[in-house]
């Protein structure tokens, strides 16, 4: 059983189709792994064993009848808890939605189910996706599987940790300012934020509507490409007005050679004062690996990237304030009892339902959208977005992708960064991509020499060129010595316990 949890999503789908093992066996192995490891890792907020086994049985029954199986036949998947799945709660890791039962299934989740995936549960996150460590979850603290005294990153920390710990081979996360790429980097897995519009957000609880995008986390680039194919092959989703036709078979693209491709580097970013030596070394290593395969490196510049944090912390909180206004305690969510007036009920429900960071972001957004303030920050931030987007467009005239860190350092220890604005500054390398709406992928490239924690490189690309990113990411994975390490399970302790089951 243990062996099944070491397989990739692609290997599982192939094995289930070939009859080497059943979807039920794979589901049971995943649930058993969760049972053993959750005590340490706490990646999941809810384990949907019944749904998982029913889905797996349906896959096995379809095979028995000779039906064609989907791309993700029998693949156990974890779903970030801001995505609706009928039969589960969707809490956004908030007291506000502690008892919320999904009444429909998000398109992104449905598409995985349509391809035969086995939904094993909902993963932990920063409350309403506000954060970089998953520490702001109202319910539990997810640990980094490589070192449980360290954070898994965030906000999709549960999705990253579940994959790194070998509980599931594949999860969905959402990325508004780096929330897939940064936890993937911290946990030594591959995480992709596709181009804005690639994946439907219908049924995903909104944070920043002009920034949010759903994407996969997995232990290999091949699995990320497979999941991207599953998410997009049914075409655009009419239920999300931002959804676009992608029309690319990502699984074929990853296999193409990269010789002659050009990758840009930004010297000013690599000299950033907060960047650690471990990350600089990791990026140098990644560059060599790609150069060995015929990739040419060029220097490019994004002159306005230094303002990306400021633009993001205007646009993100403003959109969050608008989106989270729906939580008034009436139709759903926490409701303060015994209030005399509706106004009092609303203010107290929001005060007691939301955690500290959710309140901070909304307060900031409320201020920034106020009359008189709007013209000082919100409108200019959208103009700066134009400049940042143009910077990228100009840079991509000279290269196919840009390589940069996913985070300034490896994962830090719990409580090490507690000041909110200091935490915001750590988003520097990921957020400009959300502002421009482009795709990005985080790929493990080694371990820090001092920390022994995973280090990642991030590749960013032009809008709707995600297949080029996957090609380069696959080349990086092939070229890094010992990359296979990231495909084995992070925790050593389960080896001693494996015999008991």
Partner 1 sequence: MTLTEDDVRGIADYARIALTDEELKEMCAYMNEAIELLEPIRQYDLTGVAPTFHPIGDLSNVMAPDLTNANGRSLDLDDALKNAASSRGRAFRVPSILGEEGGDR
Catalytic residues: 80, 155, 179
Min. distance of Cβ 109 from partner 1 in angstroms? 15
CA distance linking residue 163 with residue 159, whole number of Å = 7
Inter-residue contact 166 to 29 (CB < 8 Å) = no
Nearer Cβ to partner 1 (395/475) = 395
Nearer Cβ to partner 1 (256/359) = 359
> Nearest-CA neighbor of 103 among 84, 128, 79?
84
The DSSP result for 395-453, as a single string, is HTTT-SEEEEESSSSSPPBTTS---HHHHHHTTHHHHHHHHHT-EEEEEEEEE-TTT--
> Nearest-CA neighbor of 271 among 116, 428, 88, 62?
428
> Nearest-CA neighbor of 203 among 240, 178, 159, 254?
240
Inter-residue contact 9 to 71 (CB < 8 Å) = no
Nearer Cβ to partner 1 (118/362) = 362
SS3 content of the chain, % helix, strand, coil (to 5): 45, 15, 45
Nearer Cβ to partner 1 (244/442) = 244
Min. distance of Cβ 14 from partner 1 in angstroms? 35
E strand or H helix that includes residue 447? strand 439-447
> Nearest-CA neighbor of 142 among 81, 223, 101?
81
Min. distance of Cβ 197 from partner 1 in angstroms? 5
Instruction: Count helices and strands (H / E) in the chain.
Output: 18, 11
Residues 6+ apart with CB under 8 A from 307: 384, 387, 388
Nearer Cβ to partner 1 (395/445) = 395
Report CA dihedral (327, 426, 138, 451) to the nearest 10 degrees.
Answer: 160
> Nearest-CA neighbor of 442 among 485, 488, 490, 405?
405
Min. distance of Cβ 261 from partner 1 in angstroms? 24
Nearer Cβ to partner 1 (265/310) = 310
Give the position of tokens 């220097």: 299
Cα distance from N-terminal residue to C-terminal residue, the chain? 9
């Amino acid at each position: 059983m243990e062996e099944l949890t070491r397989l990739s999503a692609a290997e599982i789908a192939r094995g289930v189709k070939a009859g080497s093992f059943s979807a039920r066996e794979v589901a049971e192995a995943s649930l058993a792994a969760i049972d053993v490891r959750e005590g340490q890792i706490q990646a999941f907020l809810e384990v949907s064993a019944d749904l998982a086994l029913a889905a797996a049985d349906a896959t096995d029954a379809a095979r028995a009848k000779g039906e064609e199986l989907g791309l993700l036949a029998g693949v156990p998947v974890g779903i970030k808890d801001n995505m609706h799945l009928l039969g589960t709660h969707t809490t956004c890791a908030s007291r506000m939605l502690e008892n919320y039962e999904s009444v429909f299934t998000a398109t992104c989740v449905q598409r995985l189910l349509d391809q035969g995936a086995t939904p094993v549960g909902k993963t932990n996150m920063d409350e309403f996706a506000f954060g970089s460590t998953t520490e702001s979850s109202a319910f539990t603290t997810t640990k980094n599987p490589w070192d449980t005294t360290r954070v898994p990153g965030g906000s999709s920390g549960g999705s990253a940790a579940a994959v790194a710990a070998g509980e599931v081979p594949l999860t969905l996360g959402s990325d508004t300012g780096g929330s897939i790429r940064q936890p993937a980097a911290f946990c030594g897995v591959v995480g992709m934020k596709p181009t804005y519009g690639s994946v439907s957000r219908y049924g995903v609880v909104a944070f920043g509507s002009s920034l949010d995008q759903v994407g996969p986390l997995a232990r290999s680039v091949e699995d990320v490409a497979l999941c991207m194919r599953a998410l997009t092959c049914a075409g655009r989703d009419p239920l999300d007005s931002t959804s676009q036709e992608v029309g690319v078979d990502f699984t074929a693209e990853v296999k193409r050679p990269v010789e002659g491709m050009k990758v840009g580097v930004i010297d000013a970013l690599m000299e950033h004062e907060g960047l650690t030596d471990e990350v600089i070394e990791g990026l140098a290593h990644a560059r060599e690996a790609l150069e060995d395969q015929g990739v040419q490196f060029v220097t490019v510049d994004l002159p306005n990237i230094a303002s990306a944090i400021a633009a993001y912390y205007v646009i993100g909180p403003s959109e969050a304030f608008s989106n989270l206004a729906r939580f008034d305690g009436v139709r759903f969510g926490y409701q303060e009892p015994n209030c005399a007036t509706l106004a009092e009920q609303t203010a107290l429900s929001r005060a007691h339902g939301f955690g500290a960071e959710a309140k901070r972001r909304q307060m900031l957004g409320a201020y920034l959208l106020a009359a008189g303030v709007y013209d000082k920050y919100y409108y200019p931030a959208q103009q700066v977005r134009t400049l940042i987007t143009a910077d990228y467009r100009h840079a991509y005239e000279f290269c196919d992708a840009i390589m940069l860190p996913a985070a300034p350092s490896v994962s830090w220890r719990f409580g090490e960064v507690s000041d909110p604005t200091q935490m915001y500054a750590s988003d520097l390398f990921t957020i400009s991509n959300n502002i421009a709406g482009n795709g990005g992928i985080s790929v493990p490239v080694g371990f820090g020499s001092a920390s022994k924690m995973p280090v990642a490189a991030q590749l960013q690309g032009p809008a709707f060129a995600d297949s080029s990113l996957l090609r380069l990411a696959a080349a990086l994975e092939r070229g890094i010595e010992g990359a296979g390490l990231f495909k084995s399970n992070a925790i050593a302790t389960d080896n001693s316990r494996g015999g008991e089951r």
